[in-house]
A and B are shown apart, each in its own frame.
Chain A
């Protein structure tokens, strides 16, 4: 099986091929990243996967798919976010505006909208605060990721929102 994996700015093509007896409980695999092959022994754990590479390197890694479809990967010293087969996913979900220009600001956590600082038509600067959400007794400002014009403001003051709820659209 071949996967397209985006981490940071880079896309890597990774193909996974079983070597001998493999199954849901792991086994011996050949992982090829951008044409370079690595032999790796794989065993599922309580957290994720234990990987042992042919050169002896052992990596205990946790990989969880989040609600937004991203993978959250925890290596022993560092956490990363990965997206698997983004192009395929985006084609199958044409409504998502990850395209250039439109930015959808969503609630990063469940909470309550305490202040809405913009209205439709406002011109905003990059990092300008748009909405203030209160969660866990803390007020958190959500800022615009880009300079542009406010297109939609579905958020209203006093409203309770779940994580992922659309609050403001900036174009």
Chain B
């Protein structure tokens, strides 16, 4: 039975372990110091320490992880998402060590990981791209060259890091006056975040949607595109809610986007799971944005509407199997799925991280609810990594039913000990724009600014009086528990004494 080393932590490590179990594959977890008690360590067949808590000294340590793969005898390495998932050097190191990397070839990662090279691949495949610079702007590009490029592309535009992701190294420029400063800031952010100061310019579309196409490709030349995911609910360029299908596109656009995604992937000989992101304007015109050469956080919504287990297929493809997912199944959504990323952040304080001990957790269940979680009661959400607690995914026959089910599941969800984004989601599902699907990538940031930090759900006087009663009762019970504890101790002391005397 081949073993799979999971080079990740948190919910995605748990997700991959589950897929391995279902395929009868052995599982090897790795963990940093603070993750000794984490769920992925507890669930795996084997678990190996890889160093101190900071990611740079543990989950980003290519040599350490490859060494554990060798020592444990793992035949495959699944990188999850984040950390080393899009690191071509890691994929290469696995290959050199004779371990199968569950993902695309290192050459494909390197090519599609560079935003300008990926744009060129899209252009070569005949896929529309957002107007922009065709190659990175050199460090010493004179201001006149920058200005000329910007004028050619047109304002508003976005300065983006070539190595970018997650909104880092990205600046919007409204007019010529802000251009030079924005380029300077984007360069310094990109240098700090990715070690690469290269940037390029791209036209900013007005009120676009972010819609993406999941793909699977096998080692035998088959590429299958999936129904789209709608990811326009974003806060500072980070996805917050994802769903499938999108309300914004019709069957014809869906087919056209899937075809384009497939062409790009096929043109670079892409294998395993990947996603092509597009921006879509109000007239359903779509433009290639970038390719993510890994499993996405939001993959479960695709699984929920197609019935295809993407992680199981990643592993089967890596083992050399032929992809047998029917194209019609992959492209025909069965009803609707929505995912919320639940983070240990305080939404009422600007989404400030709220790490700490999770004292108790009540997870929603019932029909159409899936919760992918890496955190348990008694686990301390560490300060060192992304603070995701869970991905709550719901399925409904219609979008309206899925939204109602999501509201119900959010009300059932309780996490004690840390602040979470649950109150924010409970607010969001009540918003008419969300309920009716009228939003684009600018929606959430805009309404958050308009709210000026007002709490997402202000307690009513009735809530306050219930809370007062609850706190008073909790304080009463605690006082009586303490008193009862003291009595029990006295009793046992008395009993011990009595027993001792009886023995004498």
State the A residues within 8 Å of B (CB). 1, 3, 5, 7-8, 10, 12, 14-16, 22-24, 26, 29, 31, 33, 38, 40, 42, 44, 46-49, 51, 59, 61-64, 71, 73-80, 82, 84, 108-111, 135-138, 140, 163
Contact (A73, B470) CB under 8 Å given A80-B463, A111-B383, A136-B387 = yes
Number of chain B residues whose Cβ lies closer than 8 Å to a Cβ of chain A = 45
B206 at the interface (CB under 8 A from A): no
Contact (A1, B468) CB under 8 Å given A48-B474, A51-B473, A80-B459 = no
Contact (A26, B477) CB under 8 Å given A74-B414, A75-B467, A135-B383 = yes
Contact (A78, B353) CB under 8 Å given A3-B472, A111-B383 = no
B359 at the interface (CB under 8 A from A): yes
Tell me, in angstroms, the Cα distance from A14 to B469 when the chains sit together: 7
12 A–B contacts, CB within 8 A, in A order: A40-B469, A42-B473, A49-B474, A59-B466, A61-B470, A75-B459, A75-B467, A79-B419, A80-B464, A82-B468, A82-B471, A140-B350
B154 at the interface (CB under 8 A from A): no
For B426, give its contact among A10, A42, A77 (CB under 8 Å): A77
Q: How many Å from the CB of B177 to the closest CB on chain A?
A: 25
A71 touches B383 (CB 8 A): no
Tell me, in angstroms, the Cα distance from A10 to B464 when the chains sit together: 9
B383 touches A109 (CB 8 A): yes
For B355, give its contact among A23, A26, A136, A140 (CB under 8 Å): A136
Interface centre among B384, B387, B463, B469 (most CB of A within 10 A): B469
Give the residues in chain B near A8, CB-CB below 8 Å.
Answer: 459, 464
A51 touches B469 (CB 8 A): yes
What 1/0 flags go to B381-400 for Cβ under 8 Å of A?
00111110000000000000
B468 touches A75 (CB 8 A): no
Known contacts A1-B476, A29-B476; 19 further A-B pairs (Cβ under 8 A): A5-B468, A10-B464, A16-B472, A22-B480, A24-B481, A33-B468, A44-B477, A47-B362, A48-B474, A59-B470, A61-B467, A64-B417, A74-B416, A75-B466, A78-B457, A82-B471, A84-B471, A135-B355, A136-B387
Tell me, in angstroms, the Cα distance from A42 to B466 when the chains sit together: 13
Q: How many Å from the CB of B400 to the closest CB on chain A?
A: 20
Q: How many Å from the CB of B206 to the closest CB on chain A?
A: 29
For A14, give its contact among B350, B383, B459, B472 (CB under 8 Å): B472
Contact (A140, B473) CB under 8 Å given A75-B467, A79-B423 = no
Interface residues of B in 330-375 (CB under 8 A from A): 346, 349-350, 352-356, 359-360, 362
Give the residues in chain A near B387, CB-CB below 8 Å.
Answer: 136
Give the residues in chain B near A80, CB-CB below 8 Å.
Answer: 459, 463-464, 467
B67 at the interface (CB under 8 A from A): no
B325 at the interface (CB under 8 A from A): no
Contact (A110, B355) CB under 8 Å given A82-B467, A136-B387 = yes
What 1/0 flags go to B442-474 for Cβ under 8 Å of A?
000000000000000111000111111111111
A108 touches B352 (CB 8 A): yes
Tell me, in angstroms, the Cα distance from A138 to B344 when the chains sit together: 13
Give the residues in chain B near A59, CB-CB below 8 Å.
Answer: 466, 470
B467 touches A73 (CB 8 A): yes
B180 at the interface (CB under 8 A from A): no
Give the residues in chain B near A78, CB-CB below 8 Å.
Answer: 423, 457-459, 463
A46 touches B464 (CB 8 A): no
B185 at the interface (CB under 8 A from A): no
B484 at the interface (CB under 8 A from A): yes
Contact (A109, B354) CB under 8 Å given A24-B480, A47-B414, A77-B457 = yes
B321 at the interface (CB under 8 A from A): no
Tell me, in angstroms, the Cα distance from A16 to B472 when the chains sit together: 7
B472 touches A64 (CB 8 A): no
Interface centre among A10, A24, A51, A71 (most CB of B within 10 A): A24
